[in-house]
Amino acid sequence: MEVVIAPAAELARLAADAVEGLLRSNPETVLGLATGSSPLAVYDELATRHKEGLSFARARAFMLDEYVGLPADHPERYRNVIEKEFASRVDLPAGAVQGPDGLAADLPAACAAYEASIQDAGGVDLQLLGIGTDGHIAFNEPGSSLASRTRIKTLTRQTREDNARFFGGSVDDVPRHCLTQGLATIMSARHLVLLASGRAKAEAVHQLVEGPVSAMWPATIMQLHPHATVLVDDAAASRLQLADYYRQTYADKPDWQGL
Ligand code: F6R
Protein backbone atom coordinates (compact mmCIF):
# COMPACT_ATOMS: atom_id res chain seq x y z
CA MET A 1 0.00 0.00 0.00
CA GLU A 2 1.35 3.41 -0.96
CA VAL A 3 0.47 6.37 1.27
CA VAL A 4 0.90 9.88 -0.13
CA ILE A 5 0.50 12.84 2.22
CA ALA A 6 0.08 16.08 0.28
CA PRO A 7 -2.19 19.13 -0.10
CA ALA A 8 -5.65 18.31 -1.49
CA ALA A 9 -5.03 19.93 -4.90
CA GLU A 10 -1.92 17.81 -5.44
CA LEU A 11 -3.80 14.66 -4.42
CA ALA A 12 -6.48 15.36 -7.02
CA ARG A 13 -3.81 15.88 -9.69
CA LEU A 14 -2.12 12.60 -8.75
CA ALA A 15 -5.40 10.67 -9.00
CA ALA A 16 -6.19 12.37 -12.32
CA ASP A 17 -2.68 11.49 -13.57
CA ALA A 18 -3.38 7.83 -12.82
CA VAL A 19 -6.70 7.96 -14.70
CA GLU A 20 -5.13 9.84 -17.62
CA GLY A 21 -2.22 7.37 -17.82
CA LEU A 22 -4.65 4.48 -18.07
CA LEU A 23 -6.79 6.18 -20.72
CA ARG A 24 -3.74 6.99 -22.83
CA SER A 25 -2.50 3.40 -22.71
CA ASN A 26 -5.99 1.90 -23.11
CA PRO A 27 -8.84 4.13 -24.32
CA GLU A 28 -11.29 1.37 -23.34
CA THR A 29 -10.38 1.69 -19.68
CA VAL A 30 -13.03 0.72 -17.14
CA LEU A 31 -13.23 3.27 -14.32
CA GLY A 32 -14.77 2.84 -10.89
CA LEU A 33 -16.48 6.00 -9.64
CA ALA A 34 -17.20 7.12 -6.08
CA THR A 35 -19.65 9.79 -4.98
CA GLY A 36 -19.45 12.06 -1.93
CA SER A 37 -17.08 14.99 -1.43
CA SER A 38 -13.75 13.19 -1.65
CA PRO A 39 -13.48 12.64 -5.44
CA LEU A 40 -14.98 15.99 -6.50
CA ALA A 41 -11.63 17.70 -7.07
CA VAL A 42 -10.54 14.71 -9.18
CA TYR A 43 -13.65 15.07 -11.34
CA ASP A 44 -12.92 18.81 -11.69
CA GLU A 45 -9.36 18.02 -12.75
CA LEU A 46 -10.51 15.37 -15.26
CA ALA A 47 -13.10 17.77 -16.71
CA THR A 48 -10.32 20.34 -17.22
CA ARG A 49 -8.11 17.75 -18.90
CA HIS A 50 -11.02 16.72 -21.12
CA LYS A 51 -11.29 20.35 -22.32
CA GLU A 52 -7.58 20.11 -23.11
CA GLY A 53 -8.10 16.96 -25.21
CA LEU A 54 -8.32 13.93 -22.91
CA SER A 55 -11.06 11.67 -24.25
CA PHE A 56 -13.30 9.24 -22.40
CA ALA A 57 -15.21 8.34 -25.58
CA ARG A 58 -14.32 4.65 -25.44
CA ALA A 59 -14.19 4.30 -21.66
CA ARG A 60 -16.83 2.84 -19.37
CA ALA A 61 -17.52 3.36 -15.70
CA PHE A 62 -19.18 1.61 -12.78
CA MET A 63 -20.45 3.35 -9.67
CA LEU A 64 -19.79 2.02 -6.19
CA ASP A 65 -23.23 2.36 -4.68
CA GLU A 66 -26.72 3.83 -4.77
CA TYR A 67 -29.39 4.76 -2.27
CA VAL A 68 -32.48 2.57 -2.27
CA GLY A 69 -35.75 4.26 -3.10
CA LEU A 70 -34.74 7.81 -3.99
CA PRO A 71 -36.95 8.99 -6.88
CA ALA A 72 -35.35 8.90 -10.34
CA ASP A 73 -35.11 12.70 -10.49
CA HIS A 74 -33.82 13.22 -6.93
CA PRO A 75 -30.65 15.35 -7.06
CA GLU A 76 -28.92 13.15 -4.44
CA ARG A 77 -29.57 9.92 -6.29
CA TYR A 78 -25.99 8.85 -6.96
CA ARG A 79 -26.64 8.23 -10.64
CA ASN A 80 -27.70 11.90 -10.95
CA VAL A 81 -24.76 13.08 -8.83
CA ILE A 82 -22.25 11.29 -11.06
CA GLU A 83 -23.95 12.62 -14.18
CA LYS A 84 -23.73 16.18 -12.86
CA GLU A 85 -20.28 16.05 -11.27
CA PHE A 86 -18.48 13.97 -13.88
CA ALA A 87 -20.16 12.22 -16.82
CA SER A 88 -21.83 15.32 -18.28
CA ARG A 89 -18.50 17.20 -18.15
CA VAL A 90 -16.54 14.70 -20.23
CA ASP A 91 -17.32 12.74 -23.41
CA LEU A 92 -18.38 9.46 -21.87
CA PRO A 93 -21.05 8.09 -24.24
CA ALA A 94 -24.65 7.72 -23.08
CA GLY A 95 -25.03 4.47 -21.17
CA ALA A 96 -21.30 4.18 -20.44
CA VAL A 97 -21.84 4.73 -16.71
CA GLN A 98 -23.64 2.01 -14.83
CA GLY A 99 -24.73 1.85 -11.22
CA PRO A 100 -26.73 -0.47 -9.01
CA ASP A 101 -30.47 0.07 -9.53
CA GLY A 102 -31.84 1.35 -6.24
CA LEU A 103 -35.33 1.52 -7.74
CA ALA A 104 -35.47 -2.10 -8.94
CA ALA A 105 -38.54 -4.13 -7.94
CA ASP A 106 -36.23 -7.07 -7.19
CA LEU A 107 -33.21 -5.61 -5.41
CA PRO A 108 -31.24 -8.88 -4.94
CA ALA A 109 -31.64 -9.61 -8.67
CA ALA A 110 -30.44 -6.06 -9.47
CA CYS A 111 -27.35 -6.66 -7.31
CA ALA A 112 -26.57 -9.94 -9.08
CA ALA A 113 -27.07 -8.28 -12.48
CA TYR A 114 -24.71 -5.50 -11.47
CA GLU A 115 -21.97 -7.95 -10.49
CA ALA A 116 -22.43 -9.68 -13.86
CA SER A 117 -22.15 -6.36 -15.73
CA ILE A 118 -18.84 -5.55 -14.05
CA GLN A 119 -17.50 -8.98 -14.92
CA ASP A 120 -18.76 -8.75 -18.51
CA ALA A 121 -16.85 -5.48 -18.88
CA GLY A 122 -13.66 -7.27 -17.84
CA GLY A 123 -13.54 -5.76 -14.34
CA VAL A 124 -12.60 -2.31 -13.13
CA ASP A 125 -9.13 -0.99 -13.98
CA LEU A 126 -8.99 1.87 -11.48
CA GLN A 127 -11.42 2.33 -8.60
CA LEU A 128 -11.70 5.73 -6.95
CA LEU A 129 -12.72 5.52 -3.29
CA GLY A 130 -13.55 7.75 -0.35
CA ILE A 131 -13.72 6.51 3.23
CA GLY A 132 -16.44 7.03 5.83
CA THR A 133 -15.63 8.27 9.31
CA ASP A 134 -16.64 4.77 10.47
CA GLY A 135 -14.16 3.15 8.07
CA HIS A 136 -16.62 2.14 5.35
CA ILE A 137 -15.63 2.01 1.69
CA ALA A 138 -18.52 2.20 -0.72
CA PHE A 139 -21.31 1.56 1.80
CA ASN A 140 -19.72 -1.48 3.42
CA GLU A 141 -20.44 -0.51 6.97
CA PRO A 142 -18.63 -1.99 10.01
CA GLY A 143 -19.40 -5.70 10.27
CA SER A 144 -19.54 -6.17 6.50
CA SER A 145 -18.24 -9.49 5.27
CA LEU A 146 -14.75 -9.14 3.89
CA ALA A 147 -15.90 -11.50 1.11
CA SER A 148 -19.06 -9.53 0.28
CA ARG A 149 -20.39 -8.85 -3.20
CA THR A 150 -22.96 -6.25 -4.34
CA ARG A 151 -25.93 -6.37 -2.00
CA ILE A 152 -28.38 -4.37 0.11
CA LYS A 153 -26.94 -2.72 3.22
CA THR A 154 -28.44 -0.71 6.05
CA LEU A 155 -26.61 2.59 6.60
CA THR A 156 -25.35 3.32 10.10
CA ARG A 157 -26.70 6.28 12.02
CA GLN A 158 -23.22 7.84 11.76
CA THR A 159 -23.14 7.58 7.96
CA ARG A 160 -26.65 9.05 7.73
CA GLU A 161 -25.58 11.93 9.99
CA ASP A 162 -22.41 12.44 7.92
CA ASN A 163 -24.47 12.54 4.72
CA ALA A 164 -27.27 14.74 6.07
CA ARG A 165 -25.34 17.73 4.70
CA PHE A 166 -26.38 16.62 1.21
CA PHE A 167 -30.04 16.49 2.32
CA GLY A 168 -30.44 20.00 3.72
CA GLY A 169 -29.08 18.89 7.10
CA SER A 170 -31.97 16.49 7.71
CA VAL A 171 -30.89 13.00 8.85
CA ASP A 172 -34.46 11.81 8.42
CA ASP A 173 -34.28 12.53 4.70
CA VAL A 174 -31.17 10.33 4.22
CA PRO A 175 -32.31 6.89 3.02
CA ARG A 176 -31.79 4.00 5.43
CA HIS A 177 -30.77 1.46 2.80
CA CYS A 178 -28.44 1.30 -0.16
CA LEU A 179 -27.10 -1.10 -2.75
CA THR A 180 -23.35 -1.29 -2.59
CA GLN A 181 -20.51 -3.13 -4.24
CA GLY A 182 -19.14 -5.57 -1.68
CA LEU A 183 -15.63 -5.58 -0.31
CA ALA A 184 -14.67 -8.51 -2.55
CA THR A 185 -16.14 -6.66 -5.54
CA ILE A 186 -13.97 -3.64 -4.77
CA MET A 187 -10.93 -5.83 -4.17
CA SER A 188 -11.33 -7.25 -7.70
CA ALA A 189 -10.47 -3.85 -9.22
CA ARG A 190 -6.91 -3.73 -10.52
CA HIS A 191 -5.92 -0.46 -8.80
CA LEU A 192 -7.57 1.12 -5.75
CA VAL A 193 -7.10 4.88 -5.25
CA LEU A 194 -8.58 6.21 -2.02
CA LEU A 195 -8.78 9.91 -1.19
CA ALA A 196 -9.38 11.35 2.27
CA SER A 197 -9.10 14.83 3.70
CA GLY A 198 -9.87 16.49 7.00
CA ARG A 199 -9.41 15.56 10.64
CA ALA A 200 -12.74 13.71 10.80
CA LYS A 201 -11.15 10.99 8.63
CA ALA A 202 -7.93 10.68 10.67
CA GLU A 203 -8.93 7.67 12.78
CA ALA A 204 -10.43 5.82 9.81
CA VAL A 205 -7.26 6.47 7.79
CA HIS A 206 -5.06 5.27 10.68
CA GLN A 207 -7.08 2.05 10.92
CA LEU A 208 -7.09 1.59 7.14
CA VAL A 209 -3.31 1.83 6.84
CA GLU A 210 -2.04 0.66 10.22
CA GLY A 211 -4.82 -1.22 11.99
CA PRO A 212 -5.46 -4.97 11.98
CA VAL A 213 -7.56 -6.24 9.06
CA SER A 214 -11.04 -6.42 10.49
CA ALA A 215 -14.68 -6.19 9.49
CA MET A 216 -14.98 -3.50 12.20
CA TRP A 217 -12.96 -1.18 9.92
CA PRO A 218 -13.97 -2.47 6.48
CA ALA A 219 -11.43 -0.34 4.58
CA THR A 220 -8.63 -2.38 6.21
CA ILE A 221 -9.28 -5.07 3.57
CA MET A 222 -7.29 -2.79 1.26
CA GLN A 223 -4.12 -3.90 3.05
CA LEU A 224 -4.53 -7.18 1.15
CA HIS A 225 -4.70 -5.49 -2.27
CA PRO A 226 -1.54 -5.70 -4.42
CA HIS A 227 -2.00 -2.17 -5.81
CA ALA A 228 -3.63 0.22 -3.36
CA THR A 229 -2.88 3.94 -3.13
CA VAL A 230 -4.03 6.10 -0.22
CA LEU A 231 -3.98 9.85 -0.89
CA VAL A 232 -4.43 11.97 2.25
CA ASP A 233 -3.97 15.57 3.33
CA ASP A 234 -2.14 16.52 6.54
CA ALA A 235 -5.30 16.53 8.66
CA ALA A 236 -6.43 13.09 7.52
CA ALA A 237 -2.85 11.84 8.07
CA SER A 238 -2.65 13.29 11.58
CA ARG A 239 -3.06 9.95 13.38
CA LEU A 240 -0.72 7.92 11.19
CA GLN A 241 2.08 6.45 13.32
CA LEU A 242 4.48 6.16 10.40
CA ALA A 243 3.61 9.48 8.72
CA ASP A 244 7.28 10.56 8.54
CA TYR A 245 8.21 7.31 6.82
CA TYR A 246 5.40 7.69 4.24
CA ARG A 247 6.48 11.30 3.58
CA GLN A 248 10.11 10.27 3.11
CA THR A 249 9.20 7.35 0.87
CA TYR A 250 7.15 9.61 -1.38
CA ALA A 251 9.84 12.32 -1.43
CA ASP A 252 12.41 9.71 -2.53
CA LYS A 253 10.17 8.23 -5.21
CA PRO A 254 11.64 8.46 -8.73
CA ASP A 255 9.87 11.01 -10.98
CA TRP A 256 9.11 8.42 -13.65
CA GLN A 257 7.16 6.21 -11.25
CA GLY A 258 3.43 6.94 -11.21
CA LEU A 259 0.96 5.79 -8.60
C1 F6R B 1 -19.80 7.10 -1.97
C2 F6R B 1 -19.17 6.13 -1.11
C3 F6R B 1 -18.78 6.43 0.30
C4 F6R B 1 -18.03 7.74 0.44
C5 F6R B 1 -17.71 8.00 1.91
C6 F6R B 1 -16.97 9.30 2.11
O7 F6R B 1 -20.03 6.55 -3.25
O8 F6R B 1 -18.98 5.07 -1.57
O9 F6R B 1 -17.98 5.39 0.77
O10 F6R B 1 -16.85 7.69 -0.31
O11 F6R B 1 -18.89 8.01 2.65
O12 F6R B 1 -17.80 10.34 1.75
P13 F6R B 1 -17.21 11.81 1.59
O14 F6R B 1 -16.25 11.77 0.48
O15 F6R B 1 -18.42 12.66 1.24
O16 F6R B 1 -16.60 12.17 2.89
Task: Output the CA 68–ligand 1 centroid distance in Å.
Answer: 16
**Summary mean pLDDT of the chain:** 97
Sheet-wide strand order for 30-33 = 2-5, 228-232, 191-196, 126-129, 30-33, 60-63, 97-98
Predicted pLDDT of residue 258? 87
**CB-ligand 1 contact for 132 (6 Å cutoff):** yes
Q: What is the pLDDT of residues 117-141, one digit of tens each?
A: 999 999 999 999 999 999 999 999 9
Ligand 1 atom nearest 78 alpha carbon:
7
Sheet-wide strand order for 151-154 = 65-67, 177-180, 151-154
Q: What is the pLDDT of residues 193-216, one digit of tens each?
A: 999 999 999 999 999 999 999 999
- Return the DSSP state at 256: T
CB atoms within 10 A of CB 109: 11
